[in-house]
Homo-oligomer: A and B are copies of this chain.
Amino acid sequence: MQILKDRIVSEGACVGTEIVKVDSFLNHRIDVSLLGDIGMEFARRFQGEKIDKILTIESSGIAVACMTADHLGNLPVVFAKKTVPNTMTSGYYKSEVRSFTKGTVSEVIVSEKYLESGENVLIIDDFLAHGEAACGLASLVEQAGGSVVAVGAVIGKFFQGGEEKLRQQGYRVEVLANIKKIDDGKIFFCDADALPK
């Protein structure tokens, strides 16, 4: 998705060789026009699939998931939580997600009421890095007896292996802007030459 790659190159801030910050349009400030284009592109890629629900994870996945759902005919969105709210009294599915950046392991949860057996669930997130969050979300779907239709990520960090791991587990993966490497402050995408930074 060229418009997205252009924004990553022009506004993304590289931190070392592992992190690119896109706070100016996705993770803190949200460019709602670009978000609409992202939702439309996901809808285009997944329009042939039978999807009952979109599952994402708070916080940055929520806007992307909702805009995608809007373009796929108002599908319901469920967002997994990173903490158990004190108002959540009924049961929930949980899985552990390791953060390589933070060096921590945390739980993600979804109420048992909002994932159902037999459902076809599309997983949407902002980033796909090591694939830990996506695997955690897939586990929640499967604990409930549902099926993962595909995993869609706005930005992939291909060099961190998450996409390959998900494909090896049999999941369809769609990444709108896939980064091959970050080197000397420059971002190289998987299917394009290095773009000037």
Cβ contacts under 8 Å, A77 to chain B: 29-30, 32, 63
Within 8 A of B (CB), among A81-136: 81, 86-89, 101-102, 110-111, 113-114
Separation of A75 and B74 alpha carbons in the complex (Å): 21
A169 in contact (CB, < 8 A): no
Binds B, one of A15-23, A141-149, A189-197: A15-23
Separation of A135 and B27 alpha carbons in the complex (Å): 23
We find that the number of chain A residues with CB closer than 8 angstroms to chain B is 38
A36 in contact (CB, < 8 A): yes
Cβ contacts under 8 Å, A59 to chain B: 58-59, 62, 79, 81
Separation of A86 and B66 alpha carbons in the complex (Å): 26
Cβ contacts under 8 Å, A113 to chain B: 23-24, 29
Cβ contacts under 8 Å, A41 to chain B: none
Separation of A62 and B62 alpha carbons in the complex (Å): 7
Report copies per complex.
2
Selected from B63, B78, B89, the residue in CB contact (under 8 A) with A28 is B78
Chain A residues close to B by CB (< 8 Å): 15, 19, 21, 23-24, 28-33, 35-36, 58-59, 62-63, 66-67, 69-70, 74-79, 81, 86-89, 101-102, 110-111, 113-114
Selected from B30, B32, B58, B74, the residue in CB contact (under 8 A) with A32 is B74
Separation of A31 and B21 alpha carbons in the complex (Å): 30
Separation of A29 and B32 alpha carbons in the complex (Å): 21
Closest-by-CB residue of B relative to A55 is B29
A34 CB, nearest partner CB in chain B, Å: 9
A32 close to B114 (CB less than 8 A): no
Separation of A68 and B55 alpha carbons in the complex (Å): 22
Separation of A81 and B89 alpha carbons in the complex (Å): 25
Q: List 25 A-B contacts (CB under 8 A).
A: A15-B87, A15-B89, A19-B87, A23-B88, A23-B113, A24-B113, A28-B79, A28-B111, A29-B78, A29-B113, A30-B62, A30-B66, A30-B69, A30-B76, A32-B75, A32-B76, A35-B66, A36-B70, A58-B58, A58-B59, A59-B59, A59-B62, A63-B63, A66-B66, A66-B67
